[in-house]
Amino acid sequence: MELDFLIINGTVYDGLGGPPKDVSVGIKDRRIVLDKLDTAQAKEVINAKGFAIAPGFIDTHSHSEFTVLADPGQEGKLFQGITTEINGNCGLSAAPLYGEYLAHRIDDLKEYDITFRWNTLREYFSILETLKPSINFATLVGHGNIRGSVIGFSDRIPSESEKERFYSLIEQSIKDGAIGLSTGLIYPPGIYSSTAELIKLTSHGARFSSSMNLPFIYTSHMRSESDSLIESVEEVISIAEGSTSPVHISHIKTAGRNNWNKIDKVLELIYDARKRGINITADRYPYTASSTDLDSILPAWAFEGGKERELERLRDPHTARKIKKILAEGNGMEDIIISSVESPSKKWMEGKSLKEIAAELKKDLLDFIIELLIEERLRVGAIFHAMSEENLRRFLKEPWIMIGTDSSSRSFHGSTKKGKPHPRGFGSMPRFLGYYVRDKKLLSLEEAIKKLTYLPAKTFGLKDRGIIKNGAFADIVIFDPERIVDRADFSNPFLKPDGIRYVFVNGLPAIKDGEPTGKRNGVILRNGG
C-alpha cells in the first residue's frame, strides 16, 4: 500500500476524549488509514515528534456565507486549525433569499463586491463549489431568511398560507442540504416571532428530516443574553419539549454586570433539562467581549418594516428622542467599541469607543449614536465588553459546551481585510487550547480537543468528521501543545496564531510547516456530508 502521507512520532488525540496514543497516522485518497502502517510506503513522511495530532477543528458557530465568496482562501480560520465551519447561525443563512429579505441582504453582498446572485441553497452551493472553498462548509437554514422571504420585516403573526410557505421553504432547504434551523431572536425579522411559531416550524423541520433519515437541530441566538436571560433559556427548553428536536444555544453568556449572577440558574435549568432527556448543548467563544451590529442596541419596534423604515424613525426628531430616552436607561453604552464603518472618512473611528469618538467630536453621546447610524445607513459594527471572566471559564469547562468563533472567515490580505473585527475570528481555537487549557488548566487537552472535534461533529450530524479513526475523512491538525497561542487582539486582529504546523483538509495540506499551500480542498457537507 502506498500512502499519500504518513505522519510519524506524534501524539494522537483521536477526538473521543480518551488518553492520547503514540501511533502513526496515514492518509490516502482523502481518508485516514491506521491499519498496516508498518509496511506501508508513503509519498511524503511527516515527522511530528513533539507535536499533537488531532482531528481538524470544527467551528460550531460561523458566519462565512458571504465572505467565503469574496475570499475562499479563508486564512483566518485555517491558521487556527479549523477545517469545518457550521454556518447559517443566528437566523442568518446564505439562503433562501426572496423578496424583501433578498433586497435587505444586497448591501452585505455589495460590501465585498460579490456579483453572484441566488435564491436557494442549491443555487448558492453551486456557486460555492465553483470557487473551491478552503474549509468544509455545513449550514443551518436561517429562520430570519424564511420569515423575511415570506412576510418581510412586518411585526405580525403569519397567515395560514404564509405558514405553509414557511414549511415549504424549510423543506426545500433541508432537501438542498441544511442540517437544521437557526434563529436570531434579537434581530429583525426573528425578533417578531412567537414561541408557538418557532415550535411549529422546528417540529416541521425535525419531522421532515427524520422522514428522510437526515440530521436536524434547532439553534438559537436567544431573545436575551442579559436582563431576560433566564426566560430566554426557558424558551429554548420549551421549543425542545414542544418539537422533540435537539436544541443548541448559540454563544451562551451572561451579558451585563447585573446579570453575571444568573449563571447558576442558567446551568441549573440546562442540567435539569438534560436529566429529563432533553438534548441541549451550547457553544461559546473564549473572550469576554461580544460583537454585532451597533443598531442592535435599539428597541425592537425601531426595526419594524425594514431598513428604510428604521432610518426614517432615526431621522424623525420625535421618534429619535424616544429612542435616546430608552438608550439612556441602559448601561455601558459609552464603552462600546466601533469595529467597522463604511465611509472612508470615518475609518479613523474603528477601534475607538463611542465615548472617545463623541468627546473628540464634541457631541452628546446619544446624539452621536443616532447620527452615526443615519450617516452609515446602519452599517456599523461594534464590540461590547460586558461579560465576566469567571463565568466564561465556568462555561468553557462544561462538557456539553463546544467552541465557536461567531465570526466570518477572513484573510490577512485582500477584500476581507477591513475594519477592526473581533479577534475571535483569528484566535479562538489557539486561545482556548493555549491560554485556557495549557496555562489555566481548565480541563485536560484530550477533553478540550473533544470539544473542538468529535462533540460538534456528533451534535451537528457531520459524517466521518471530528475523529481520527480508520476510514474517517483526513481533516487533521498537527500542533505544538507547548507553543500554541493566539496573537490577535482588539487593536490588531489580523495576526496569525503560533504553534500550528500542519492543517489537512480532506487529505491535502492547506497549511504546511506553518505556511499556506494555496490548496483549497474544502467540500460542502450537504446534510452533514
Distance CA 202, CA 183 (A): 10
> Is a pLDDT exceeding 90 seen at residue 334?
no
Distance CA 168, CA 175 (A): 11
Distance CA 200, CA 29 (A): 43
* Residues paired with residue 86 on neighbouring β-strands, in sequence order: 138
Distance CA 33, CA 315 (A): 63
Distance CA 264, CA 143 (A): 30
Among residues 15, 20, 169, 11, the alpha carbon closest in space to that of 95 is found at: 169
Q: What is the pLDDT of residues 194-232, one digit of tens each?
A: 999 999 999 999 999 999 999 999 999 999 999 999 999
Q: What is the pLDDT at residue 445? A: 98
Residues 6+ apart with CB under 8 A from 523: 136, 137, 506, 529
Note whether 437 and 92 are within 8 A (CB). no
In this structure, are strands 57-59 and 82-87 parallel, antiparallel, or unpaired? Answer: parallel
Share of the chain above pLDDT 70, in %: 100
> Is a pLDDT exceeding 90 seen at residue 333?
no
DSSP 159-218: PHHHHHHHHHHHHHHHHHT--EEEEETTSTTGGG--HHHHHHHHHHHHHHHHHTT---EE
Min mean pLDDT across 26-40, 135-149, 324-338, 419-433 is at 324-338
Q: Which band of pLDDT confidence, cut at 50, 70 and 90, is reported for residue 237?
A: very high
In the sheet with 247-249, reading across from the earlier edge strand, the strands are: 141-142, 180-184, 217-221, 247-249, 280-284, 401-403
Q: What is the mean pLDDT of residues 500-522?
A: 97
φ and ψ at residue 8, rounded to 5 degrees: -120, 160
Note whether 94 and 88 are within 8 A (CB). yes
Treating both helix axes as pointing N-terminal to C-terminal, what angle do 160-176 and 143-151 enclose, rounded to 10 degrees? Answer: 140
> Is a pLDDT exceeding 90 seen at residue 1?
no
What residue type is 492 in one-letter code?
N
Share of the chain above pLDDT 90, in %: 98
**363-394: b or e for each residue (b if 16 or more CB lie within 10 Å)?**
eebbebbbbbbeebebbbbbbbebbbeebbeb
- Predicted TM-score (pTM) of this structure: 0.97
Among residues 40, 54, 51, 44, the alpha carbon closest in space to that of 10 is found at: 51
Using the structure block, give the residue that is written with the C-alpha cell 428604510. Answer: 308
Q: What is the pLDDT at residue 272? A: 98
Q: What is the mean pLDDT of residues 276-297?
A: 97
Using the structure block, give the residue that is written with the C-alpha cell 499551500. Answer: 517
Among residues 181, 97, 168, 171, the alpha carbon closest in space to that of 139 is found at: 181
Note whether 84 and 475 are within 8 A (CB). yes
1: which 3 cell numbers? 500500500
Q: What is the pLDDT of residues 368-426, one digit of tens each?
A: 999 999 999 999 999 999 999 999 999 999 999 999 999 999 999 999 999 999 999 99
> Is a pLDDT exceeding 80 seen at residue 332?
no
Radius of gyration of the chain (CA): 23
Distance CA 486, CA 429 (A): 8
Residues 6+ apart with CB under 8 A from 22: 9, 10, 11, 12
DSSP 243-277: H---EEETT----SGGGGGGHHHHHHHHHHHHHTT
φ and ψ at residue 251, rounded to 5 degrees: 35, 60
Among residues 502, 460, 506, the alpha carbon closest in space to that of 478 is found at: 502
Distances (CA, A) of 442 to 265, 446, 461, 464: 21, 12, 27, 28
Distance CA 112, CA 70 (A): 6
Q: What is the pLDDT at residue 335? A: 83
Distance CA 46, CA 36 (A): 17
Distance CA 230, CA 387 (A): 16
Among residues 336, 334, 332, 326, the alpha carbon closest in space to that of 290 is found at: 336
Handedness of CA 19, 20, 25, 29 (dihedral sign): positive
Note whether 372 and 407 are within 8 A (CB). no
232: which 3 cell numbers? 430566554
